[in-house]
């Protein structure tokens, strides 16, 4: 029963929703050695101090001194820093210039010196591309048949209208014949 209470309080404690009273109750429950044996990793909660000590009078001054310490450069160091900055910029510019020149030299290379060999290579590549495109076009043959279907539907529509005209004439004759037979 008390283990369940400890579990519930621990869940609330680690969720950050416990009150001071609940935290005191949790410390009191965990001070029992029999319960602490079930929660050995929570031993640190027992020794937790309820009050936080106030900082000393000169604490903030010392903290400011440590965190906002201004560094003063000696004149020799200042000159060294400027020289290092200029040297780094020069190295970056030189490397950029070398890379760009190397890229330009590589990009304008001619691959064939003999125009007949170049033309034969172009024809070979174009033949290969044409063969592959024809292979791809074979797969589209059913789609071509779909484009012919509307023409056939139009032809069927024309035949259908001829049949309908002939049937209407037959119906007319049938009505005339029924009308004469009734007289």
Q: Which of 11, 30, 49 is the last residue of a domain?
A: 49
Residue 104 lies in a domain: no
Residue 85 lies in a domain: no
Distances (CA, A) of 40 to 9, 37, 46, 106: 15, 5, 11, 70
Mean pLDDT of 49-71: 77
User: Full-prediction pTM beyond 0.75?
Assistant: no
Residue 128 lies in a domain: yes
Residue 144 lies in a domain: yes
What local confidence, expressed as pLDDT, does residue 107 receive?
A: 60
If we measure between CA atoms, which residue out of 38, 27, 32 comes closest to residue 3? Answer: 38
Q: Which of 30, 49, 68 is the last residue of a domain?
A: 49
Assess whether pLDDT exceeds 70 at residue 50: no
Assess whether pLDDT exceeds 60 at residue 181: no
Residue 77 lies in a domain: no
Residue 95 lies in a domain: no
Residue 154 lies in a domain: yes
Higher pLDDT, 137 or 28: 28
Sign of the CA dihedral with 77 first, then 82, 85, and 87 last: negative
Residue 79 lies in a domain: no
What local confidence, expressed as pLDDT, does residue 102 receive?
A: 80
Q: Distance from first CA to last CA of the chain, Å, rounded?
A: 109
pLDDT tens-digit map of 94-146: 999 998 888 776 665 667 778 888 889 889 999 988 888 877 777 777 777 76
The number of domains in the chain is: 2
Q: Which domain holds residue 166?
A: 115-172
Q: Which of 15, 32, 49 is the last residue of a domain?
A: 49
């Amino acid at each position: 029963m008390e283990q369940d209470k400890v579990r519930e309080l621990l869940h609330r404690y680690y969720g950050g929703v416990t009150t001071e009273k609940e935290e005191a109750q949790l410390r009191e429950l965990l001070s029992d050695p029999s319960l602490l044996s079930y929660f050995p990793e929570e031993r640190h909660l027992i020794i937790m101090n309820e009050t936080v000590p106030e900082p000393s009078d000169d604490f903030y001054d010392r903290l400011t001194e440590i965190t906002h310490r201004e560094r003063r450069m000696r004149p020799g160091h200042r000159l060294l820093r400027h020289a290092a900055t200029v040297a780094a910029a020069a190295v970056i510019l030189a490397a950029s210039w070398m890379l760009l020149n190397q890229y330009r030299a590589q990009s304008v290379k001619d691959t064939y010196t003999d125009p007949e060999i170049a033309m034969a290579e172009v024809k070979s590549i174009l033949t290969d591309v044409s063969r592959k495109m024809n292979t791809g076009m074979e797969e589209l043959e059913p789609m071509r048949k779909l484009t012919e279907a509307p023409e056939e539907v139009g032809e069927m529509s024309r035949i259908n209208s001829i049949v309908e005209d002939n049937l209407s004439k037959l119906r007319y004759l049938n009505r005339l014949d029924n009308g004469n037979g009734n007289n």
